[in-house]
Structure 1
Amino acid sequence: MNKKYLIKKNKEYRKIYNEGISLANRYAVIFTLKNSLGQKRFGFSVSKKIGKAVERNRVRRRLKEICRKNDEFFLNGYDYILIARKGIEELSYNSIQDSVENLAYRINKKIAREN
């Protein structure tokens, strides 16, 4: 995933958490907020509850790859933060992908209802 599509600053994360909308399922939470850039950006958060650094990085890499490959599920002009929940480290790649696709679909429907 290209660096220009990543959210890096703590200030940006806090703004999305405080002002954005969210949805969750058993393995992940998604936050989103409209941005002024006209392109989609992603942030990823994997807690220390998930496991040691190797497992957390594996989960983060999988989430990044899923977002990169399936960017058509996410709307342009929005920032997305994906937060991994405990238990996601035991899932296969395809299961994580299904979970993220479901969240993206549901959050886009929620955005459409609010506009």
Structure 2
Amino acid sequence: MRKSYRIKREDEFQDVFDNGQSVANRNFVIYYLDRPEAKHFRVGISVGKKIGHRANVRNRIKRYIRQSLLELKPHIDPHMDFLVIARKGASQLDMAASKKNMVHALSLAGILPRDTQAEDVQK
């Protein structure tokens, strides 16, 4: 993802936490904030040390999240800022399971259309 699609600064993260809403499934928590003036969505990814004590585990989870978002990019609502926070179970997922869980969590948040199924997205 290009830099313009990322939330990196602490105050931007905090704005989504404080003013946004959240949904969760077993492996991911999504905090989201509507931004009608935005040209495209922005995403922040957080994987804490509780999830994977080693950096390579945390980096693998982040890679899976970024790749899932890249594949889902055409379906994502462009007027959203959202944060993806991994839960402990995310360290056990492979790429396919990670993407399936991301689709579910993003659908719950309304970032993806509810009628978007994993089969449609994988095409």
Moved over 6 A (4+): none
Q: What is the correspondence of 1:1-115 to structure 2 with a 5 Å cutoff? A: 1-35=1-35, 36-51=37-52, 52-108=54-110
Report % sequence identity. 31
Q: Which amino acid aligns with 1:86?
A: K
| TM, length-normalised to structure 2 | 0.84
1:48-97 CA distance string (max 9 Å, x none)? 01111110011011101100111134201110110000021111111110
Please, which runs of 5 or more residues in structure 2 have no aligned partner? 112-123
| TM, length-normalised to structure 1 | 0.89
Q: Which amino acid aligns with 1:104?
A: L
Q: Which amino acid aligns with 1:9?
A: R
| Alignment RMSD | 1.2
Please, which runs of 5 or more residues in structure 1 have no aligned partner? 110-115
CA distance in 1: counterparts of 2:63 and 2:102, whole angstroms: 14
CA distance in 1: counterparts of 2:82 and 2:73, whole angstroms: 11
CA distance in 2: counterparts of 1:96 and 1:72, whole angstroms: 18
